Structure 1
Amino acid sequence: MTPPELSTSPPVTASTDPAPRVIAADAPFIVVMNAGSGRRQSDETRAALDDILGRAGRKFEVRLVADPSQLADTARQAVRDAKAQNAVVVGAGGDGTLCAVAEAVLGSGCAFAVLPRGTFNYFSRDHGIPADPAESIRLLLDARAFPVQVGFLNERMFLVNASLGLYPKLLEDREIYKRQFGRSRLIALWSAAVTLLRTHRHLRLHIEHDGTMHEVRTSTLFVSNNRLQLEQIGMAEAPQLERGLLAAIAPRAIGRLAQLGLTLRGAAGRMSDADNVISFAFKRITVTHQSKRQRPVKVATDGEINWIIMPLEFRVAPEPLFLLKPEADVANANRS
């Protein structure tokens, strides 16, 4: 629901979007690949690249990142080399890996492409990019680069979502369960249920939106830049993302069982029907804690956990990321 005290920002018209870019037929590809997805998956991806791009006569190179702390530096070097070679920078991995590579690409003038290798792959699915390795690689050969919206939490970019409060804890616990039991959506859902049944504290936040300050008491503030994710949980703000806005969701302070029930309602695609959920679309908001103390808070951006000192500013990036993706009709068919 959208409470009366939190209004939706005016939409941005589609006519302001830059035109899509045609990629040169001989443009090479520099692939930044996260080795954390597993040796077998990395080998399969490399073999598919050799087969499909090799037969098409397209040059490419793979830069495998074994140490996650080196991902950002590797991505920045890939962008520098891509600018010199008129190449396309390709991220291969889950949403966190794709975000790290995309952050290096944004504003560089280079086109960006993805080979989805994660558990949920919300970013690629939202833009109609196939999960099948061979299909996503073939897409590189003839797709145009379309402008897509990205968000920022202070200086950290996000492609899918950013959050503070309970949601980062859910992600941390999910990673522990994945290391123990493997990567699957079922494990992720089970981990979430266990976490929600534990005791959790509520946040007392001040949210400045459109020049007005509002007090919100919630377990988590979740900001989405992904229409597919919002549609899956049944949020009415999903279409607003295509109008240049982000969507915020904050459940009102409720108990553990009620929190679990709200999560189940979201899994059934009916969260917008809940009376205890605040939701609104916006272009920029500033979030502070009621205590006014400048203290670090745990945040998550596309699954990556960090500590940031308040105030927190969530905003739409002023420039788009140019993503190789299918034409609109094909993308809509591939979003499920």
Structure 2
Amino acid sequence: MSDPIAARPAPDRAGIRVICNDHSGRNSREAEAIDRAMAVLGPEAELCHVKGRDIAETARAAVRDGYGTVVAAGGDGTIMAVASALNGSDCALGVLPLGTFNFFARGYGIPEDPEGAAKVIAAGHSRSIDLGAVNGRLFLNNASIGVYPAILKERETVYRRWGRRRIAAHWSVLKTFWRFTRPLKVEIEVEGQRRRFRTPLVFAARSAFQLDHFGLQGADCIRQGGFAVFVAPDEGRMGLLSDAVRLAVKQMRLGEDFELICADRLVIHVKRRRQLVACDGEKFAMDGPLEFEMVRNAFRIIVPDAAGEAAA
């Protein structure tokens, strides 16, 4: 987990630093979106184009330099990097969503159009939020092991060929499900009790909006301050393909297509010492066991005023 940052007292903070993932601004549509947002934010906002691995350090520098708001311009991976850097500081997070799905922004009612998102940031209404963490790494929407990290790897190839489109993302899911043949053997520990599973996917969700979007149960687990953990049965590639279809038409069945575990802390014991973990669309190699916990009041996020207490 990120260490709290020594920072100036909140009353001394002013100004906005917008951190744009250089990858996110490469096409003309996204470059135009950033320009339109900056026009709304005005001259007090500073724009920084940085490469992916430099995002977190640029955000930490903004905290040290006394900025009041740090804006993540990009997809959920970019937002996650900035959010991790702000953990424990008194600096507020603004979001300019430029990703494929933008589940985090949409979950807090933040508009996907650039002017709308910029107006929310300029208004400055904020609220404190809780985040999930796995082995100390924060995540916004979800963290998982198994087939989903493989999907992300395939998605990178598809995006390079066809661009960052939602239909391309769905196609990468189908391709990966068809090729996936190696389920995991895991033990999931909750409150000292262990259960064994043979599964292609363990998916820990923290976005009630994302679950509602796909018609999945478990949103109440999240609204009560914990994780909704989905464990898929080992049914082979045809079972995975069937699940993909049911997910697309919002007809996933509790007890048949997945098992649901609600917890605010859990440990996943895996056979391999190193396990590939997907967090908000990014992949990380982590040493087992994988410890999931909630980070309370991680930082403040700027939201539309009406959504300040309603977001999940």
Match of 2:61 among 77, 84, 98: 77
1:167 partner amino acid: Y
Matched, 1:36 2:23: yes
1:122 aligns with 2:103: yes
Q: 1:145 aligns with which of 107, 111, 126?
A: 126
Q: Match for residue 318 of structure 1?
A: 296
State the SS of the aligned residue for 2:275.
Answer: strand
- Residues 232, 266 of structure 1: 8 Å contact kept: no
C-alpha deviations, 1:113-151, integer Å up to 9, x for none? 100000100100111000000110011122411122211
Residue 82 (structure 2) aligns with: 101
What SS does the corresponding residue of 2:61 show, helix, strand or coil?
helix
Give the Cα–Cα distance (whole angstroms) in 2 for the partners of residues 222 and 229 of structure 1.
12
CA distance in 2: counterparts of 1:249 and 1:153, whole angstroms: 15
User: What is the match of residue 230 of structure 1?
Assistant: 211
8 Å Cα contact 1:232/1:267 also seen in 2: no
- The residue type equivalent to 2:274 in the other structure is P
Is 1:250 matched up with 2:228?
A: no
Match 2:283 to one of 305, 310, 328: 305
Q: Structure 2: 5+ residue runs without aligned partners?
A: 1-9
TM-score normalised to structure 2 length: 0.90
Distance 2:112 2:306 in 1: 17
Show the counterpart of 2:40: 52
Contact residue 128 and residue 298 of structure 2 kept, 8 A: yes
CA–CA separation in structure 1 for the residues paired with 2:91 and 2:308: 23
Once structures 1 and 2 are overlaid, which stretch shifts more, 45-54 or 120-129? 45-54
Which amino acid in the other structure matches residue 91 of structure 1?
A
1:162 maps to amino acid: A
Q: Does residue 239 in structure 1 map to residue 217 in structure 2?
A: no
| Partners of 2:73 and 2:96 within 8 A in 1 | yes
1:268 maps onto 2:262 in alignment: no
Superposed displacement of residue 204, structure 1: 0.8
Give 3-state SS (helix, strand or coil) of 1:197's partner. Answer: helix
AA matched with 1:38: G
Q: How far, CA to CA, are the matches of 1:124 and 1:276 in structure 2? A: 28
CA RMSD across the alignment? 2.1
Aligned pair in 2 of structure 1 residues 329, 299: CA closer, same or farther (>3 Å)? closer
How has the CA–CA distance of structure 1 residues 198 and 43 changed in structure 2, closer, same or farther, with 3 Å as cutoff?
closer
The alpha-carbon distance between structure 1 residues 177 and 331, as it changes in their structure 2 partners (threshold 3 A), is farther
How much has 1:183 moved relative to structure 2?
Answer: 1.1
Aligned to 1:218: 199
Code of the aligned partner of 1:203: L
Higher mean alpha-carbon deviation, 67-76 vs 194-203, is at 67-76
Q: Residue 90 of structure 1 contacts residue 114 of structure 1 at CA under 8 Å; is this kept in 2? A: yes
Instruction: Classify the secondary structure of the residue corresponding to 2:84.
Output: helix
- Consecutive unaligned residues of structure 1, counting only runs of 5 or more, are 1-22
- The answer as to whether partners of 2:147 and 2:180 remain within 8 angstroms in 1 is no
Report the CA distance shift for 1:239/1:143 in structure 2 as closer, same or farther (over 3 A). farther
| Per-residue deviation, 1:302 | 0.8
- CA gap of 1:178–1:127, structure 2 versus 1, over 3 A, is same
How many positions carry a matched residue from both structures?
301
* Alpha-carbon distance between aligned partners in 1 of 2:308 and 2:250, rounded to the nearest angstrom: 24
In structure 1, the residue corresponding to 2:109 is in which secondary structure? Answer: coil
| C-alpha distance in structure 2 between counterparts of 1:42 and 1:209, whole Å | 43
For normalisation by structure 1, the TM-score amounts to 0.84
Contact 1:147 1:321 in 2 (8 A): yes
Amino acid at match of 1:72: A
Q: CA deviation at 1:78?
A: 1.8
Q: CA deviation at 1:232?
A: 2.2
Q: Tell me by how many angstroms 1:198 deviates.
A: 1.1
Q: Deviations along 1:249-294, whole A, 9 cap, x unmatched?
A: 11011111111111111111121445141112110100112x4x5x
1:169 is aligned to 2:150? yes
Deviation (angstroms), 1:242: 1.5
In 2: Cα distance, 1:267 partner to 1:273 partner: 15
8 Å Cα contact 2:15-2:44 kept in structure 1: yes
